[in-house]
A = this chain, B = another copy of it.
Amino acid sequence: MQMTAIKKKIAILGASGYTGAELVRLLSTHPGFEITALTGERKAGQSMASVFPFLRHLPLPDLCRIDEVDFSQIDLAFCALPHATSQAVIRELPSDLRIVDLSADFRLRDPAAYQKWYGQPHGAPEIQREAVYGLTEFYRDEIRAARLVAGTGCNAATGQYILRPLVEAGVIDLDEIILDLKCGVSGAGRALKENLLHAELSEGAQPYAVGGTHRHLGEFDQELSLLAGRAVEIQFTPHLLPMNRGILASAWLKGDAQRIHAVLVERYATERFIEVLPFGAVPSTHDVRGSNFVHIGVVGDRRPGRAMVAAVLDNLCKGSSGQALQNANLMMGFDEAEGLLLAPLFP
């Protein structure tokens, strides 16, 4: 195939975590990208097959340190490093290297907001300014032209797929937005914590990051306030569920349910990855696992003027690495859906 001749060269920084591995999975059937470098500071020198045996069928470069990568040969770097590390690394990369960052470091445009939610001053404020917020369906043109795209929070993405069209259309009460999220555990990454052990996580559920403290609130504030032209503060709490992939967002809203449904149907009519279900039907995370799809359902209530809108996506794919690849496709001039039309895995 001719395409081979023009394959774009990719580096994945931080390839030993779940989002890095998910990028490799997605790129493995993409005709236009070629993985040229994979980094992992603590696991440098190891093969990907030893770190992620599920990738052993692929011919991949071994993990190396970031300072071993020749970035002059790289067309685009995915940066799947931990928060705070990301800004320190990106600051030192060539200033013309195109980057899709999957960390939280460049999501907030306002340095004060960053400091408020992340508890420290930003380490690369000049780069922060140029970053484009990576919610593809709403920033397509900016992303296409961007040097640095900041991947969104997975919870923030799920909530915004519900809320952005409704805020824009003015069909919900902006002061009464409640977002009750149910999240799979892979969103917490490969962190070694007692509450993430199978023995302590399976067969039970609990809230976390309660009381209006979850950092993704910074993204909601920034994006919804911008859309509304006024301050919008939602009430949002995630709950940790005994499953690996998937976010189920239940938005409790004041507004006319049928009108809400109509706004969402119209807004997403031409989006390939976003499916609005018939009115009254509800989505399941089972139906999007491993895929880049979003399913949204709208239901009314016995009390008029109230609605619940539920949205589901796979946090590692559409909520993170799938979104990143969708953005990279735009940046490199490929079809936005290239490599991303894999069907979900069920059961």
Binding site for B on A (CB under 8 A): 18, 21, 24-25, 28-29, 52-58, 178, 180, 182, 185-186, 190, 192-194, 196-208, 210-213, 217, 233, 235, 237, 239, 241-246, 248, 250, 252, 272-273, 275, 280, 282-291, 293, 295, 297, 299-303, 306, 308, 310, 312, 341-347
Contact = CB atoms under 8 A, between A and B. Distances in A.
Given A192-B197, A199-B190, A210 B241 contact: no
Contact of A241 (B55, B208, B241): B241
A17 to B, nearest CB: 11
Contacts of A243: 202-205, 242
Closest 8 A/B residue pairs (Cβ): A212-B302, A204-B286, A206-B284, A199-B347, A192-B192, A54-B287, A54-B346, A198-B201
Which residue among A194, A244, A287, A346 has the maximum number of chain B CB atoms within 10 Å of its CB?
A346
Given A243-B242, A250-B207, A194 B199 contact: no
Given A243-B203, A246-B204, A308-B237, A25 B185 contact: no
B347 A206 contact: no
Contacts of A198: 185, 196-198, 201-202, 242, 244
Nearest to A21: B346
A276 B193 CA distance: 26
A289 B252 contact: no
Given A198-B185, A205-B284, A54 B303 contact: no
Contacts of A25: 343-346
Given A54-B343, A198-B196, A306-B235, A206 B28 contact: no
B293 A57 contact: yes
A233 B186 CA distance: 37
A211 B280 contact: yes
Nearest to A293: B57
Nearest to A236: B301
Contacts of A204: 243, 246, 284-287, 289
Contact of A283 (B206, B213, B248, B344): B206
A289 B205 CA distance: 11
B302 A211 contact: yes
